Structure 1
Amino acid sequence: MINRFCKMPLWECNDTLVRVAQGQQPAELVIKDAHLVSVDTRELLEHADIAIACGRIAYLGIGGHSAAHCIGKTTEVVDANGLFAAPGLLDSHIHIESSMVGPSEYARAVVPHGTVGIYADPHEVANVCGLDGVRAMWEDAARTPLKTMLTTPSCVPAVTDVEDTGASIDAAQIAESMTWPETCALGEMMNFPGILACEKNALDEVRETLKTDRVVTGHYVTPDIDRGLAAYIASGASCCHESGSVADVLAKLRMGMYAQLRQGSAWLNLPGYLPQLIESGVDMHHCLLCTDDSHPHTIVSDGHMDRVVRDAVALGLDAVVALQLATINVAEYFGVGRDMGSIAPGKCADIVLFEDLRDFRAVRVWIDGSQVAERGQALFDVRPFAWPTFMTSTMNLGGQLCPQSFEFREGEGRPDGSCQVRAMAVSGGDTITQDSVVEVPVRGGKLMADPDHDILKVCVFDRHHADAGTFSHGFATGFGIHGALAQTVSHDAHNLLVMGDNDADMLLAARTLEACGGGEVAVQDGKVLALVELPVCGLMSDGRVEVVSEKVSRIEEAWRTMGCRLPSPFMTMGVMSLACIPVLRQTNRGYVNCVSFQTEPLIVEETA
């Protein structure tokens, strides 16, 4: 695959680099006296010099050699004073929309943390607005130096025939997207049941990607790590970020798959398997680090890929190996290792100076030889992006929101008392939901919430098709709140998800989001406690990341006031409709068993 994410192709400037390396032409920039992190050899090389021209590295002064011969009158010289020079960090799998800001604002937030490139799957926006929405996102992204590489959404909808989305993507559209210069891979193939069943469109999407010599990124969540996993990999899917245990990671590595080790805002997977993976002694060349989803307050307060590397080192991983997992391994997987991923002659000058290899605090950041950040601040800025109207008018609920919509009349014909129902049981820091059977009150033919036993009502409304839309009823346990919560960030169809212990608060929450164009809201006893407006596709703000971060902090405080103790509860709630991860999920069409991929009834009939 031709790498289109550099300032200048190597074939256009190799003559200049040859002359600079030999001292026949001055470099544009020389970084002197750095501790070079060689991810190519897993070494730390002291007193290294780096000479740069045309956005690429021309010369390395190592082993007692210096770049003095590369310095001329016009050369900018930066004295690193023993700081650690590492390749710029790469996120191997990220959904920009989870940051709740657009791509340009996202870039302004993450670049100061040493992130120089991301492999982004915008399937959130694609599920709302299709590939037209994706193109608009990349117009915004192109206004910044961050290398924003597109992995075309493969599963829109995530699973067929169980939910209603705002758009759909088929193999012909995938083929078209593979001609775009920003495309580097197929986004996570979540429809692993379709692959295993040889579903035509799913396999055709993979085929269209492989024809262009691009990789197919994966998403495999099932206990079958034998025949099913082998079949999935054999189809062409070559990496996966959905591993819940060290056994899952090892099974994928042993079958030749790349394992993406995830540490996002809510899905904190590293502690669950990284120490055991280190202890196993397996070669980690096929391991990559990723965030998958990072909330704005996580980025603002804790960082981005620097945080992931820091967490990996704190769990026992060697610092240079941790950097390999966030640099050269990623570049080599995506087929751009000749240009990116390490500090070596000929490669792009994507470089971070870190204070140390423990906290990974970035002092300076260069992308293609241009300094883009210093001591936590971006050295670039962008004007607010003019989002097209079709992306800011996506709350098409028609007349669905009325008091009766929140009355669970599935109990009609039953005497007052109680009955058994299915409920989605959640736990903190995990994407998995359990299929739990609970007992709820029945009053006047209506099923009721039972907050005393942490049983809440859940409603999912199709927000894409107005009066033609549908909605469903369900229950959830594990949140422990009094009041109501609603959000339009509900993976992956991103319909309106409302949860609460009383109908009045649920209605107020739903109508509040309808009025502001989407987002997330917390309501208690008839009062809006906190609101995050996300008017772009109901997923992203058009404001600054710091402002959004503050609003998210306030709504998380509201969650705690309401009784919730889950970490990142917004993200836990947001995957309750994700019909490609076990076990029980609720879409606008009702319950889906995400192991059998069959619909399930709300009421569990008791047997004698």
Structure 2
Amino acid sequence: MSESYAGKINRKLLKKRRIINAAAGREPADLVLKNATYVNVFSNELCHADIAVAEGLIVGMGQYSGVVEEDMTGKIILPGFLDAHIHLESSLVSPKEFVKAVLPHGTTTVITDPHEIANVMGTDGIEYMLQATEGLPVDVRFMLPSCVPATPLDESGAVLDYRAIDSFYAHPRVQGLAEMMNFVGIINNDDQAVEKIVAAQANHKKIDGHAPDLAGNDLNAYIAAGVYSDHECHDLKDAIAKLERGQFIMIREGTAARNLEALAPLLCDKYSERCMFCTDDKHPNDLLEKGHIDYIVKRAIALGVDPITAIKVACHNAARYFLLNNRGAIAPGYLGDFVVIDNFQNFHIEQVYKRGERMVENGVVKAFSAPSIEQYLVDRAHSTFHVSPLTAQDFAERRPRGIIGMVNGEITTVDAGYSDHIDVEYDVLKIAVVERHKNTHHIGIGFLQGYGLKSGAVATSISHDSHNIIVVGTNEADMAAAANRVVELNGGIVVWDGGQPQAEVPLAIAGIMSEESLVAVNEHLETAKERAFELGVSPGIDPFMTLSFMALPVIPSLRITTRGVFDVNSQSYV
């Protein structure tokens, strides 16, 4: 039987009275961090006091006694870190596993854009992620996907206009509209793009940007439309131009893109108030080997940034931007989210508290349960492949096709001409994208140079942003076999040679996330990379991440779609 309105009010009154009494010192707090040295993000200094927590909130700093007291002599207490923009799906694991990975690194809040799973499952994907993140010991807040699909050229599992997502704005963990990648649509007054902006503003929500190198009047138009931030700045000139026009700058240091070193000069008195940190995409090995927001803070300090400025950018600024007014600081009324470190030089995280509860002790995470997910959504997430069995003949097109020339160390490409056949000696391989959502049997075929594969094929259902199956191979038979194996796995990464899989990474949740632990997924992934390199993939290339971006038709110059090779610059098929 549900609680009555009067019952809720009475419960909240009791809680509020408890908070006031603990703050006033009339009752012992639930937790007191004794003798604490903490970062004060308001006065920009280190302060010294006991920190008292009751009912999950900080109730005061001063002299306090508590039911639980922890001596913090010699330690530094920081507010919990906040990732301002991430796609949880990029970790390749379930939200619970992601939280287990980032909590020891001091992250207590993330802002996620679920556009990867939304491209596969539509609004069911958004609902799946909302349920899968409910009540986790890292607060997961949402920005609603603005571009599903990323462009009209994509064949994704859904097309979401403003009507499809509008009802989600009422959810208490939805902060706004995620990265508006279609800046061209905004500038040119495209109906669907502008409708989404208007709907978000009607709901009084934030709107994030994604507009690399946009400048001049086009940038003015984009910002005037209502886009408040950007995480795509890769150089200082671009960032300052946007900051001067009022945008907030999300300094990104993730797996696919690393912009901290170029943008570190922003972390000064003149600009830092308009900056926050984000990772965008964070892959398993990166999470395990480097960390999360703590890694960015450490790197910033090593680059000469004032430690208190770096901490403030890692928590307080993003909290203010997203109107999360009870986090990002150590002060009365703020959440008891703390990171306990030894010092700014080593930056070793010893403890992490969430709402006053110690969740991490020396890297060990306290056990917590995964939220329950509606069975319909679980079944839906495990049934996202609708592809008829493929044969070599499906990839045997003999007409001349464009060659996508890979650029070493980049995800940009060049036009490398045409070919009508595979030529392994000259590193001309066949590449294809197989539509997998609606069994259309659409298969776009082209050629790829620079990948280096000498034998077999590589296939993956991580194929930005629509997540069709992308496959590259030295012959059509192995391409078909590798793609069929991806379907059999309900999604994943497959390295195929000699008539059998040489390595595979099952990704059964929507074809983009695994149900295994982060450590297990990373082991599978690293083994698959080793097998791919043994088959000839060029050193310096991530065999799967690089391949996944070959299907995203917003990055110059050539890409592969379900309709063939597309020239992004001329907006035409080749």
Relative distance call for 1:342 and 1:226 in structure 2 (3 A) is: same
Q: Which amino acid aligns with 1:435?
A: V
- Contact 1:191 1:580 (8 Å CA) reproduced: no
Please give the per-residue CA displacement for 1:554-597, whole angstroms capped at 9, x wherever unaligned.
Answer: 1222233233323544222211112233333222122333345x
User: Could you tell me how far 1:317 is from its partner in structure 2?
Assistant: 2.2
Which residue matches 2:31? 29
Is the 1:143–1:382 contact (alpha carbons within 8 Å) kept by the matching residues of 2?
Answer: no
Q: 1:193: which partner in 2?
A: 184
Match of 2:408 in 1: 427
Counterpart contact for 1:460–1:587, Cα < 8 Å: yes
Query: Does the aligned pair in 2 maintain the 1:266–1:568 contact within 8 Å?
Result: no
For the pair 1:104 / 2:96, whether they are aligned, the reply is: yes
Tell me the equivalent position of 1:462: 435
- CA pair 328-383 structure 1, distance change in 2 beyond 3 A: closer
Give the whole-Å Cα distance in 2 for the aligned partners of 1:351 and 1:9: 26
CA shift for structure 1 position 294: 0.8
The answer to whether the Cα contact below 8 Å between 2:233 and 2:239 also exists between their aligned partners in 1 is yes
1:176 match: secondary structure: helix
Q: Which moved more, 1:491-500 or 1:564-573?
A: 564-573
Match of 1:117 among 83, 105, 109: 109
> 2:452: which partner in 1?
480
Note the C-alpha offset of 1:193: 1.4
| 2:100 partner amino acid | R
**Do the aligned partners of residues 16 and 553 (structure 1) sit closer, same or farther apart at CA in structure 2, a change above 3 Å counting?**
same
* 1:354 partner letter: I
Determine the structure 2 residue equivalent to 1:131.
123
1:44 maps to 2:46: yes
1:19 to 5, 21, 27: 21
Q: Find out whether 1:206 has 2:197 as its counterpart.
A: yes
State the match for 2:4 in structure 1: none
Alpha-carbon separation, structure 1, partners of 2:12 and 2:475: 63
Q: State the partner residue of 2:3.
A: none
Question: How far apart are the structure 1 equivalents of 2:357 and 2:11?
Answer: 16
| Equivalent position amino acid for 1:582 in 2 | P
Equivalent residue of 1:476, what SS? strand
1:71 paired residue number: 65
Q: Contact 2:459/2:472 (CA < 8 Å) preserved in 1?
A: yes
Distance 2:306 2:541 in 1: 28
Aligned to 2:282: 294
The alpha carbon displacement at 1:195 in A equals 0.9
Q: Could you say what secondary structure the match of 2:171 adopts? A: coil
Q: Structure 2 vs 1, CA of residues 520 and 214 (structure 1 numbering), >3 Å: closer, same or farther?
A: same
2:235 corresponds in structure 1 to 245
| Structure 1 contact 27–71 (Cα < 8 Å) conserved | yes
1:511 corresponds, among 484, 487, 499, to: 484
CA contact (8 A) 1:266 1:567 kept: no
**Could you tell me how far 1:112 is from its partner in structure 2?**
1.5
Taking the aligned partners of 2:75 and 2:427, their CA distance within structure 1 comes to 52
Alignment counterpart, residue 375 of structure 1, candidates 362, 379, 389: 362
Deviation at 1:12, TM superposition (A): 7.9
Amino acid at match of 1:437: A
Cα deviation per residue 1:291-318 (whole Å; 9 max; x = unaligned)? 1111122212221211222222233322
* Counterpart AA for 2:562: N
Counterparts of 1:121-200 in structure 2 under 5 Å? 121-160=113-152, 162-200=153-191
Q: Distance in 2 between matches of 1:592 and 1:249?
A: 30
Gaps of 5+ in 2: 1-9
Aligned AA for 1:335? L
- In the alignment, is the contact (CA less than 8 A) between 2:79 and 2:337 conserved in 1? yes
Q: Given the two structures, how large is their TM-score scaled by the length of structure 1?
A: 0.87
Runs of 4+ in 1 over 4 A off after TM superposition: 8-15, 275-278, 383-387
Whether the 8 Å CA contact 2:135–2:371 is kept in 1: the answer is no
Match for residue 417 of structure 1?
Answer: none
Kept after mapping to 2: 8 A contact 1:174/1:209: no
| 1:12–1:503 CA distance, 2 compared to 1 (3 A) | farther
Percent identity over paired residues: 35
Per-residue deviation, 1:385: 6.2
Q: 1:203-242 alignment to 2 at 5 Å?
A: 203-221=194-212, 223-242=213-232
The runs of 5 or more residues in structure 1 that have no matched partner are: 1-7, 62-66, 412-419, 441-446, 602-608
Aligned to 1:83: 75
SS of 2:84's equivalent in the other structure is strand
CA contact (8 A) 1:319 1:358 kept: no
Over 3 Å counting, the alpha-carbon distance change for 1:309 and 1:382 in structure 2 is same
Structure-1 separation of matches of 2:128 and 2:14: 30
What pairs with 1:359-370 in structure 2 (closer than 5 Å)?
359-370=346-357
Shift of 1:383: 5.2
Give the number of aligned pairs.
Answer: 560
Secondary structure, aligned partner of 2:329:
coil
2:300 maps to which residue?
312
TM-score by length of 2: 0.92
Does 2:250 align with 1:257?
no
CA deviations over 1:116-169 (Å, ceiling 9, x no partner)? 010000101101101112212221211422101011111111112x02111121
Q: 2:318 aligns with which of 305, 310, 330?
A: 330
Measured in 1, the distance between the counterparts of 2:112 and 2:369 equals: 20
CA 580–282 in structure 1, closer or farther in 2 if over 3 Å, else same: farther
Find 1:545's aligned residue among 489, 513, 518. 518
- Aligned 8 A contact 2:166 2:199 in 1: yes
CA RMSD in angstroms comes to 2.3
